[in-house]
Amino acid sequence: MKATVKGKKTLSGKVRVPGDKSISHRGAIVGALARGTTKISGFSPSQDCASTLDVLGKLGVSISIDESFVQIEGKAGRFNQPKEKLHAGNSATTMRLLAGAIAPMPIRVTITGDDSLLRRPMGRIIEPLSLMGAKVISEGGGGFPPLTIEGGNLRGIEYSPPQASAQVKSAILLAGLGATGKTRVRELYPTRDHTERILRQAGVEVFQSENVVTLHPGVPRALELEVPGDISSAAFLLAGAMICPGSTVEVSDVGINPSRSGFLEIARKMGGDIEVEVTDSGFEPKGRITARYSALKGTRIEPREVARAIDEVMLVSLLATQAQGTTIIEGAGELRHKESDRLSATASGLKKLGARVEEREDGFVIEGPCELRGAQVDPYKDHRLAMMFAIAGAAASGVTVINDWEWIEVSYPNFVADMRKLGVEINRGE
Ligand code: S3P
Protein backbone atom coordinates (compact mmCIF):
# COMPACT_ATOMS: atom_id res chain seq x y z
CA MET A 1 0.00 0.00 0.00
CA LYS A 2 1.11 3.55 -0.72
CA ALA A 3 0.32 6.85 0.98
CA THR A 4 0.28 10.28 -0.61
CA VAL A 5 0.96 13.49 1.29
CA LYS A 6 0.25 16.98 -0.03
CA GLY A 7 2.99 19.41 0.78
CA LYS A 8 3.51 22.92 2.10
CA LYS A 9 1.25 22.33 5.07
CA THR A 10 0.99 23.95 8.46
CA LEU A 11 0.52 21.54 11.37
CA SER A 12 -1.63 22.83 14.17
CA GLY A 13 -3.59 21.34 17.01
CA LYS A 14 -3.44 19.04 20.02
CA VAL A 15 -3.03 15.27 19.95
CA ARG A 16 -2.22 12.29 22.14
CA VAL A 17 0.00 9.55 20.79
CA PRO A 18 -0.25 5.78 21.43
CA GLY A 19 1.23 4.22 24.55
CA ASP A 20 4.99 3.79 24.66
CA LYS A 21 6.11 0.65 22.86
CA SER A 22 9.26 0.01 24.92
CA ILE A 23 7.41 0.39 28.24
CA SER A 24 4.48 -1.75 27.04
CA HIS A 25 6.80 -4.64 26.04
CA ARG A 26 8.50 -4.48 29.41
CA GLY A 27 5.24 -4.16 31.35
CA ALA A 28 3.93 -7.30 29.67
CA ILE A 29 7.14 -9.30 30.15
CA VAL A 30 7.75 -8.24 33.76
CA GLY A 31 4.05 -8.82 34.52
CA ALA A 32 4.33 -12.32 33.04
CA LEU A 33 7.40 -13.05 35.20
CA ALA A 34 5.78 -11.62 38.32
CA ARG A 35 3.83 -13.21 41.14
CA GLY A 36 0.20 -12.01 40.97
CA THR A 37 -1.96 -10.06 38.52
CA THR A 38 -0.55 -7.08 36.61
CA LYS A 39 -2.85 -4.42 35.14
CA ILE A 40 -1.55 -2.15 32.40
CA SER A 41 -3.46 0.86 31.05
CA GLY A 42 -2.44 2.78 27.93
CA PHE A 43 -0.83 -0.36 26.45
CA SER A 44 0.65 0.29 22.99
CA PRO A 45 -1.70 -0.68 20.12
CA SER A 46 1.32 -1.52 17.93
CA GLN A 47 1.80 -4.80 16.08
CA ASP A 48 5.15 -5.18 17.89
CA CYS A 49 3.52 -5.23 21.33
CA ALA A 50 0.79 -7.56 20.04
CA SER A 51 3.66 -9.93 19.09
CA THR A 52 4.93 -9.85 22.67
CA LEU A 53 1.46 -10.65 24.06
CA ASP A 54 1.05 -13.46 21.51
CA VAL A 55 4.38 -15.05 22.40
CA LEU A 56 3.67 -14.77 26.14
CA GLY A 57 0.28 -16.45 25.59
CA LYS A 58 2.03 -19.40 23.91
CA LEU A 59 4.33 -19.61 26.93
CA GLY A 60 1.28 -20.27 29.09
CA VAL A 61 0.67 -16.74 30.35
CA SER A 62 -2.99 -15.90 30.68
CA ILE A 63 -3.74 -12.44 29.27
CA SER A 64 -7.01 -10.58 28.93
CA ILE A 65 -7.42 -7.41 26.91
CA ASP A 66 -10.27 -4.95 27.08
CA GLU A 67 -10.61 -1.31 26.06
CA SER A 68 -8.89 0.10 29.09
CA PHE A 69 -6.55 -2.59 30.44
CA VAL A 70 -4.27 -5.43 29.56
CA GLN A 71 -4.36 -7.86 32.47
CA ILE A 72 -1.61 -10.42 32.91
CA GLU A 73 -1.54 -13.37 35.29
CA GLY A 74 2.10 -13.70 36.34
CA LYS A 75 3.82 -17.08 36.25
CA ALA A 76 6.27 -16.32 39.09
CA GLY A 77 9.38 -16.87 36.98
CA ARG A 78 8.30 -20.09 35.26
CA PHE A 79 6.80 -20.18 31.74
CA ASN A 80 5.33 -23.38 30.23
CA GLN A 81 7.05 -25.44 27.55
CA PRO A 82 5.36 -24.15 24.34
CA LYS A 83 4.01 -26.67 21.84
CA GLU A 84 5.10 -24.71 18.78
CA LYS A 85 7.64 -22.29 17.40
CA LEU A 86 7.01 -18.73 18.62
CA HIS A 87 6.67 -15.83 16.18
CA ALA A 88 7.95 -12.37 17.13
CA GLY A 89 6.78 -10.73 13.87
CA ASN A 90 8.85 -7.61 13.11
CA SER A 91 9.85 -7.05 16.73
CA ALA A 92 13.48 -7.41 17.80
CA THR A 93 12.50 -6.20 21.28
CA THR A 94 10.17 -9.21 21.62
CA MET A 95 12.85 -11.64 20.47
CA ARG A 96 15.76 -10.24 22.47
CA LEU A 97 13.97 -9.49 25.74
CA LEU A 98 12.07 -12.76 25.76
CA ALA A 99 15.22 -14.75 24.96
CA GLY A 100 16.67 -13.23 28.13
CA ALA A 101 13.53 -13.83 30.20
CA ILE A 102 13.35 -17.50 29.09
CA ALA A 103 17.07 -18.22 29.55
CA PRO A 104 16.88 -19.22 33.26
CA MET A 105 13.89 -21.55 32.73
CA PRO A 106 14.18 -25.31 32.08
CA ILE A 107 12.37 -25.12 28.72
CA ARG A 108 13.38 -25.28 25.05
CA VAL A 109 11.92 -22.52 22.90
CA THR A 110 12.40 -21.50 19.27
CA ILE A 111 11.58 -17.91 18.32
CA THR A 112 11.34 -16.84 14.71
CA GLY A 113 10.18 -13.65 12.95
CA ASP A 114 9.42 -11.96 9.64
CA ASP A 115 12.01 -11.43 6.86
CA SER A 116 13.28 -8.22 8.43
CA LEU A 117 13.67 -9.77 11.89
CA LEU A 118 15.51 -12.77 10.39
CA ARG A 119 18.19 -10.27 9.27
CA ARG A 120 18.67 -8.66 12.71
CA PRO A 121 21.89 -9.55 14.58
CA MET A 122 21.38 -11.79 17.63
CA GLY A 123 25.04 -12.59 18.37
CA ARG A 124 24.88 -9.63 20.74
CA ILE A 125 22.52 -11.52 23.07
CA ILE A 126 23.77 -15.04 22.28
CA GLU A 127 27.19 -14.20 23.72
CA PRO A 128 26.16 -12.85 27.15
CA LEU A 129 23.33 -15.39 27.63
CA SER A 130 25.78 -18.20 26.79
CA LEU A 131 28.31 -16.79 29.27
CA MET A 132 25.54 -16.96 31.89
CA GLY A 133 25.10 -20.67 31.11
CA ALA A 134 22.14 -20.81 28.68
CA LYS A 135 22.33 -22.63 25.36
CA VAL A 136 21.24 -20.25 22.59
CA ILE A 137 21.42 -21.54 19.03
CA SER A 138 21.32 -19.32 15.94
CA GLU A 139 19.17 -21.48 13.63
CA GLY A 140 19.70 -18.97 10.83
CA GLY A 141 23.51 -19.31 11.20
CA GLY A 142 25.98 -16.47 11.77
CA GLY A 143 24.11 -15.18 14.80
CA PHE A 144 20.83 -14.66 12.90
CA PRO A 145 17.36 -15.87 13.93
CA PRO A 146 15.44 -18.08 14.39
CA LEU A 147 16.86 -18.58 17.88
CA THR A 148 16.50 -21.72 19.96
CA ILE A 149 16.94 -21.18 23.68
CA GLU A 150 17.60 -24.07 26.05
CA GLY A 151 17.50 -22.48 29.44
CA GLY A 152 18.30 -23.38 33.02
CA ASN A 153 20.90 -22.86 35.79
CA LEU A 154 22.27 -19.45 35.01
CA ARG A 155 24.91 -17.53 36.94
CA GLY A 156 25.13 -13.77 37.09
CA ILE A 157 27.90 -12.13 35.04
CA GLU A 158 29.55 -8.76 34.59
CA TYR A 159 29.32 -7.79 30.98
CA SER A 160 30.14 -4.79 28.77
CA PRO A 161 28.19 -4.98 25.50
CA PRO A 162 30.28 -3.71 22.56
CA GLN A 163 27.30 -1.66 21.32
CA ALA A 164 25.05 0.76 23.25
CA SER A 165 21.79 -1.22 23.23
CA ALA A 166 18.88 -1.15 25.66
CA GLN A 167 17.63 -4.43 24.21
CA VAL A 168 20.90 -6.20 24.96
CA LYS A 169 21.07 -4.69 28.45
CA SER A 170 17.47 -5.70 29.11
CA ALA A 171 17.94 -9.27 27.86
CA ILE A 172 20.85 -9.70 30.29
CA LEU A 173 18.97 -8.13 33.23
CA LEU A 174 15.86 -10.26 32.64
CA ALA A 175 18.06 -13.37 32.51
CA GLY A 176 19.74 -12.17 35.70
CA LEU A 177 16.40 -12.30 37.55
CA GLY A 178 16.62 -16.10 37.53
CA ALA A 179 20.42 -16.46 37.86
CA THR A 180 22.46 -17.10 40.97
CA GLY A 181 24.44 -14.10 42.18
CA LYS A 182 24.29 -10.60 40.88
CA THR A 183 24.36 -9.46 37.25
CA ARG A 184 26.10 -6.29 36.15
CA VAL A 185 25.96 -4.53 32.77
CA ARG A 186 28.38 -1.74 31.92
CA GLU A 187 27.19 0.29 28.95
CA LEU A 188 29.25 2.16 26.37
CA TYR A 189 26.79 5.07 26.69
CA PRO A 190 23.63 5.17 28.79
CA THR A 191 20.55 3.85 26.92
CA ARG A 192 16.85 3.89 27.81
CA ASP A 193 16.40 2.58 31.35
CA HIS A 194 12.75 1.43 31.28
CA THR A 195 13.68 -2.12 32.32
CA GLU A 196 15.58 -0.91 35.37
CA ARG A 197 12.74 1.42 36.41
CA ILE A 198 9.98 -1.14 35.99
CA LEU A 199 11.91 -3.87 37.80
CA ARG A 200 12.62 -1.53 40.70
CA GLN A 201 8.93 -0.64 40.79
CA ALA A 202 8.24 -4.39 40.94
CA GLY A 203 10.42 -4.74 44.05
CA VAL A 204 13.57 -6.14 42.39
CA GLU A 205 16.91 -4.83 43.69
CA VAL A 206 18.38 -2.86 40.79
CA PHE A 207 21.07 -0.23 41.24
CA GLN A 208 22.02 2.28 38.56
CA SER A 209 24.93 4.65 38.25
CA GLU A 210 25.54 6.60 35.06
CA ASN A 211 26.27 3.65 32.79
CA VAL A 212 26.45 0.65 35.15
CA VAL A 213 23.43 -1.39 36.24
CA THR A 214 23.57 -4.05 38.94
CA LEU A 215 20.67 -6.43 39.54
CA HIS A 216 20.05 -9.00 42.26
CA PRO A 217 17.99 -12.04 41.32
CA GLY A 218 14.36 -12.23 42.40
CA VAL A 219 10.75 -12.69 41.35
CA PRO A 220 9.08 -9.35 40.52
CA ARG A 221 5.83 -8.49 42.25
CA ALA A 222 2.75 -7.65 40.18
CA LEU A 223 2.28 -4.07 39.01
CA GLU A 224 -0.38 -1.49 38.24
CA LEU A 225 1.14 0.35 35.33
CA GLU A 226 0.00 3.42 33.38
CA VAL A 227 1.94 3.61 30.13
CA PRO A 228 2.73 7.16 28.96
CA GLY A 229 2.48 8.21 25.30
CA ASP A 230 5.36 7.15 23.08
CA ILE A 231 7.92 9.92 22.64
CA SER A 232 9.25 8.16 19.53
CA SER A 233 5.77 8.54 17.95
CA ALA A 234 5.33 12.11 19.23
CA ALA A 235 8.72 13.03 17.72
CA PHE A 236 7.32 12.79 14.15
CA LEU A 237 4.62 15.37 14.86
CA LEU A 238 6.97 17.63 16.81
CA ALA A 239 9.51 17.51 13.97
CA GLY A 240 6.71 18.34 11.51
CA ALA A 241 5.82 21.42 13.57
CA MET A 242 9.43 22.61 13.64
CA ILE A 243 9.90 22.44 9.84
CA CYS A 244 6.46 23.52 8.51
CA PRO A 245 6.03 27.34 8.63
CA GLY A 246 3.29 28.61 10.94
CA SER A 247 2.91 25.34 12.89
CA THR A 248 2.20 24.73 16.57
CA VAL A 249 1.63 21.18 17.81
CA GLU A 250 0.90 20.12 21.38
CA VAL A 251 1.21 16.48 22.43
CA SER A 252 0.02 15.59 25.92
CA ASP A 253 0.79 12.67 28.25
CA VAL A 254 4.10 11.84 26.57
CA GLY A 255 6.82 9.87 28.35
CA ILE A 256 9.77 12.17 29.09
CA ASN A 257 12.14 9.75 30.82
CA PRO A 258 15.50 11.55 30.40
CA SER A 259 17.22 8.40 29.11
CA ARG A 260 14.78 8.49 26.20
CA SER A 261 14.18 12.15 25.43
CA GLY A 262 17.45 12.95 23.66
CA PHE A 263 15.51 14.11 20.60
CA LEU A 264 14.09 17.08 22.52
CA GLU A 265 17.57 18.20 23.58
CA ILE A 266 19.02 17.77 20.10
CA ALA A 267 16.13 19.72 18.59
CA ARG A 268 16.63 22.52 21.14
CA LYS A 269 20.37 22.56 20.40
CA MET A 270 19.40 23.12 16.75
CA GLY A 271 17.25 26.08 17.78
CA GLY A 272 13.97 24.15 17.96
CA ASP A 273 11.16 25.92 19.79
CA ILE A 274 10.12 23.18 22.20
CA GLU A 275 8.40 23.56 25.56
CA VAL A 276 7.94 20.75 28.04
CA GLU A 277 5.58 20.94 30.98
CA VAL A 278 5.98 18.04 33.42
CA THR A 279 2.52 16.71 34.32
CA ASP A 280 3.50 13.55 36.21
CA SER A 281 6.80 12.85 37.89
CA GLY A 282 6.12 9.18 38.69
CA PHE A 283 8.57 6.37 37.98
CA GLU A 284 8.04 6.99 34.25
CA PRO A 285 7.53 10.77 34.07
CA LYS A 286 5.10 12.34 31.58
CA GLY A 287 4.62 15.79 30.15
CA ARG A 288 2.93 18.03 27.66
CA ILE A 289 5.23 18.96 24.79
CA THR A 290 4.62 21.93 22.50
CA ALA A 291 6.68 22.46 19.34
CA ARG A 292 6.51 25.45 17.00
CA TYR A 293 7.96 26.32 13.64
CA SER A 294 11.61 27.20 14.30
CA ALA A 295 14.63 28.84 12.72
CA LEU A 296 16.89 25.77 12.91
CA LYS A 297 20.67 25.72 12.67
CA GLY A 298 23.10 22.90 11.88
CA THR A 299 24.89 21.05 14.66
CA ARG A 300 27.20 18.15 15.47
CA ILE A 301 25.64 15.04 17.07
CA GLU A 302 27.92 12.70 19.00
CA PRO A 303 27.58 8.97 19.79
CA ARG A 304 26.44 9.64 23.38
CA GLU A 305 23.55 11.76 22.09
CA VAL A 306 22.66 9.14 19.47
CA ALA A 307 22.23 6.50 22.21
CA ARG A 308 19.45 8.58 23.84
CA ALA A 309 17.67 9.30 20.56
CA ILE A 310 18.40 6.11 18.63
CA ASP A 311 14.95 5.91 16.97
CA GLU A 312 14.82 9.65 16.23
CA VAL A 313 18.12 10.07 14.35
CA MET A 314 16.25 9.94 11.03
CA LEU A 315 14.09 12.83 12.19
CA VAL A 316 17.18 14.77 13.25
CA SER A 317 18.48 14.32 9.70
CA LEU A 318 15.18 15.67 8.36
CA LEU A 319 15.44 18.72 10.68
CA ALA A 320 19.00 19.17 9.39
CA THR A 321 17.75 19.51 5.79
CA GLN A 322 15.83 22.62 6.94
CA ALA A 323 18.56 24.00 9.21
CA GLN A 324 21.02 26.75 8.34
CA GLY A 325 24.52 25.28 7.89
CA THR A 326 26.07 21.85 8.21
CA THR A 327 24.87 19.03 10.49
CA ILE A 328 27.21 16.14 11.23
CA ILE A 329 25.83 12.98 12.87
CA GLU A 330 28.46 10.54 14.17
CA GLY A 331 28.36 7.20 15.96
CA ALA A 332 25.04 6.11 14.45
CA GLY A 333 26.34 2.89 12.85
CA GLU A 334 23.73 0.90 14.85
CA LEU A 335 21.09 2.32 12.49
CA ARG A 336 22.31 -0.11 9.85
CA HIS A 337 20.97 -2.98 12.04
CA LYS A 338 17.40 -1.75 12.56
CA GLU A 339 14.21 -2.73 10.70
CA SER A 340 16.09 -1.55 7.58
CA ASP A 341 19.52 -0.04 6.98
CA ARG A 342 18.27 3.32 8.19
CA LEU A 343 21.43 5.23 7.22
CA SER A 344 21.29 4.21 3.60
CA ALA A 345 17.47 4.37 3.28
CA THR A 346 17.27 7.82 4.94
CA ALA A 347 20.03 9.20 2.72
CA SER A 348 18.53 7.85 -0.50
CA GLY A 349 14.97 8.96 0.34
CA LEU A 350 15.95 12.46 1.47
CA LYS A 351 18.15 12.88 -1.62
CA LYS A 352 15.17 11.98 -3.80
CA LEU A 353 13.26 14.76 -2.07
CA GLY A 354 16.06 17.17 -2.98
CA ALA A 355 18.15 17.23 0.21
CA ARG A 356 21.95 17.42 0.27
CA VAL A 357 22.92 14.38 2.32
CA GLU A 358 26.24 12.57 2.41
CA GLU A 359 25.97 9.09 3.90
CA ARG A 360 28.97 8.05 6.00
CA GLU A 361 29.84 4.67 7.54
CA ASP A 362 28.36 5.74 10.90
CA GLY A 363 26.18 8.75 10.14
CA PHE A 364 25.51 11.66 7.82
CA VAL A 365 26.73 15.08 6.78
CA ILE A 366 23.77 17.26 5.76
CA GLU A 367 23.91 20.72 4.22
CA GLY A 368 20.93 22.93 4.83
CA PRO A 369 18.63 24.57 4.31
CA CYS A 370 17.18 23.14 1.12
CA GLU A 371 13.83 23.23 -0.60
CA LEU A 372 12.26 19.74 -0.41
CA ARG A 373 10.24 18.67 -3.48
CA GLY A 374 7.65 15.87 -3.50
CA ALA A 375 8.79 12.53 -4.98
CA GLN A 376 8.10 8.80 -4.62
CA VAL A 377 10.17 7.34 -1.80
CA ASP A 378 10.85 3.86 -0.48
CA PRO A 379 10.88 3.18 3.27
CA TYR A 380 12.05 -0.44 2.80
CA LYS A 381 9.21 -1.86 4.92
CA ASP A 382 10.39 0.23 7.88
CA HIS A 383 7.63 1.93 9.89
CA ARG A 384 9.74 4.80 11.18
CA LEU A 385 11.14 5.62 7.73
CA ALA A 386 7.63 5.64 6.24
CA MET A 387 6.45 8.16 8.85
CA MET A 388 9.61 10.30 8.57
CA PHE A 389 9.00 10.57 4.80
CA ALA A 390 5.36 11.55 5.46
CA ILE A 391 6.59 14.43 7.64
CA ALA A 392 9.12 15.40 4.96
CA GLY A 393 6.24 15.30 2.46
CA ALA A 394 4.19 17.74 4.55
CA ALA A 395 7.09 20.22 4.39
CA ALA A 396 7.92 19.62 0.70
CA SER A 397 6.35 21.25 -2.34
CA GLY A 398 3.99 19.10 -4.44
CA VAL A 399 2.96 15.55 -3.58
CA THR A 400 5.06 12.87 -1.91
CA VAL A 401 4.23 9.20 -2.45
CA ILE A 402 5.44 6.71 0.16
CA ASN A 403 5.63 3.01 -0.63
CA ASP A 404 5.14 0.17 1.92
CA TRP A 405 2.74 2.30 3.95
CA GLU A 406 1.08 -0.64 5.74
CA TRP A 407 4.25 -1.06 7.83
CA ILE A 408 3.34 1.93 10.04
CA GLU A 409 1.08 -0.50 11.95
CA VAL A 410 4.28 -1.82 13.54
CA SER A 411 4.36 1.16 15.91
CA TYR A 412 1.74 3.87 15.23
CA PRO A 413 -1.53 2.58 13.71
CA ASN A 414 -3.30 5.93 14.24
CA PHE A 415 -0.67 8.04 12.49
CA VAL A 416 -2.87 9.01 9.50
CA ALA A 417 -5.77 10.09 11.74
CA ASP A 418 -3.42 12.16 13.93
CA MET A 419 -1.79 13.82 10.91
CA ARG A 420 -5.22 14.71 9.51
CA LYS A 421 -6.24 16.12 12.86
CA LEU A 422 -3.25 18.45 12.61
CA GLY A 423 -4.30 19.56 9.12
CA VAL A 424 -2.13 17.40 6.85
CA GLU A 425 -3.73 15.97 3.69
CA ILE A 426 -2.62 12.37 3.74
CA ASN A 427 -4.31 9.49 1.96
CA ARG A 428 -3.80 5.76 1.75
CA GLY A 429 -4.11 4.19 -1.68
CA GLU A 430 -3.04 1.22 -3.77
C1 S3P B 1 14.48 -0.52 22.16
C2 S3P B 1 15.81 -0.24 22.06
C3 S3P B 1 16.43 0.26 20.81
C4 S3P B 1 15.40 0.86 19.89
C5 S3P B 1 14.19 -0.02 19.73
C6 S3P B 1 13.52 -0.28 21.06
C7 S3P B 1 13.97 -1.07 23.43
O8 S3P B 1 17.06 -0.82 20.15
O9 S3P B 1 15.97 1.11 18.61
O10 S3P B 1 13.25 0.59 18.86
O11 S3P B 1 12.74 -1.08 23.64
O12 S3P B 1 14.80 -1.51 24.22
P13 S3P B 1 18.59 -1.28 20.44
O14 S3P B 1 18.67 -1.77 21.82
O15 S3P B 1 18.85 -2.37 19.44
O16 S3P B 1 19.41 -0.04 20.18
List the residue whose alpha carbon is closest to atom 16 of ligand 1. 165
2-19+228-429 and 21-226 share one fold: yes
What percent of the chain is predicted at pLDDT more than 70? 100
CA 246–ligand 1 middle distance (angstroms): 33
HSE toward the beta carbon, residue 427, CA cutoff 13 A: 7
394 lines ligand 1 (CB under 6 A): no
Mutate to test the pocket of ligand 1, among 29, 125, 263, 310 (most ligand atoms within 8 A of CB): 310
CA 91–ligand 1 middle distance (angstroms): 10
CA 127–ligand 1 middle distance (angstroms): 18
Specify whether the CB–CB gap between 149 and 108 falls below 8 A: yes
Question: Atom of ligand 1 at shortest distance to CA of 25?
Answer: 11
CA 78–ligand 1 middle distance (angstroms): 25
The confidence band for 396, taking pLDDT boundaries of 50, 70 and 90, is: very high
Residue 288 has pLDDT above 70, yes or no: yes
Distance of alpha carbon 345 from alpha carbon 363, whole angstroms: 12
Average pLDDT score over residue span 165-187: 98
What percent of the chain is predicted at pLDDT more than 90? 98
Mutate to test the pocket of ligand 1, among 93, 257, 338 (most ligand atoms within 8 A of CB): 93
Among the listed residues 20, 193, 311, 378, the single catalytic one is 311
Distance of alpha carbon 47 from alpha carbon 328, whole angstroms: 33
Q: What is the pLDDT of residues 177-186, one digit of tens each?
A: 999 999 999 9
Q: Which fold has domain 21-226?
A: UDP-n-acetylglucosamine1-carboxyvinyl-transferase; Chain (3.65.10)
Q: Which fold has domain 2-19+228-429?
A: UDP-n-acetylglucosamine1-carboxyvinyl-transferase; Chain (3.65.10)
CA 372–ligand 1 middle distance (angstroms): 30
Average pLDDT score over residue span 228-247: 98
257 lines ligand 1 (CB under 6 A): no
Average pLDDT score over residue span 122-145: 98
Q: Which residues are CB-neighbours of 257 under 8 A, at least 6 positions away?
A: 192, 193, 194, 197, 284, 285
Question: Atom of ligand 1 at shortest distance to CA of 21?
Answer: 11
Ranges of each domain in the chain: 2-19+228-429, 21-226
Residue 230 annotated among the catalytic residues of the structure:
no
29 lines ligand 1 (CB under 6 A): no
Q: Report the side by side order of strands in the sheet with 399-402.
A: 376-377, 399-402, 2-6, 426-429
56 lines ligand 1 (CB under 6 A): no
Distance of alpha carbon 59 from alpha carbon 102, whole angstroms: 10
382 lines ligand 1 (CB under 6 A): no
310 lines ligand 1 (CB under 6 A): yes
CA 297–ligand 1 middle distance (angstroms): 28
Distance of alpha carbon 280 from alpha carbon 405, whole angstroms: 34
Question: Atom of ligand 1 at shortest distance to CA of 165?
Answer: 14
Residue ranges of E strands in 293-336? 300-301, 325-329
Nearest to 406 by CA among 134, 114, 118: 114
The confidence band for 429, taking pLDDT boundaries of 50, 70 and 90, is: confident
Average pLDDT, rounded, for the chain: 97
166 lines ligand 1 (CB under 6 A): yes
Q: Which residue has the higher pLDDT, 282 or 363?
A: 363
CA 165–ligand 1 middle distance (angstroms): 6
Please give the pLDDT value at position 153. 94
Tell me the three state secondary structure of residue 156: coil
Question: Atom of ligand 1 at shortest distance to CA of 307?
Answer: 16
CA 48–ligand 1 middle distance (angstroms): 12
165 lines ligand 1 (CB under 6 A): yes
Question: Atom of ligand 1 at shortest distance to CA of 167?
Answer: 14
22 lines ligand 1 (CB under 6 A): yes
122 lines ligand 1 (CB under 6 A): no
Specify whether the CB–CB gap between 53 and 71 falls below 8 A: no
Distance of alpha carbon 405 from alpha carbon 385, whole angstroms: 10
Burial class (CB in 10 A: 0-12, 13-18, 19+), 141: exposed
Specify whether the CB–CB gap between 157 and 131 falls below 8 A: yes
Q: Report the side by side order of strands in the sheet with 183-186.
A: 158-159, 183-186, 212-215, 206-208
Residue 67 has pLDDT above 90, yes or no: no
Q: What is the pLDDT of residues 178-209, one digit of tens each?
A: 999 999 999 999 999 999 999 999 999 999 99
181: number of Cβ within 10 Å: 12
Nearest to 89 by CA among 120, 56, 114: 114
Residue 113 has pLDDT above 70, yes or no: yes
The confidence band for 430, taking pLDDT boundaries of 50, 70 and 90, is: low
Q: Which residues are CB-neighbours of 47 under 8 A, at least 6 positions away?
A: 89, 90, 91, 409, 410, 411, 413
334 lines ligand 1 (CB under 6 A): yes
Distance of alpha carbon 72 from alpha carbon 77, whole angstroms: 13
48 lines ligand 1 (CB under 6 A): no
Distance of alpha carbon 254 from alpha carbon 42, whole angstroms: 11
pTM of the model: 0.98
Please give the pLDDT value at position 258. 97
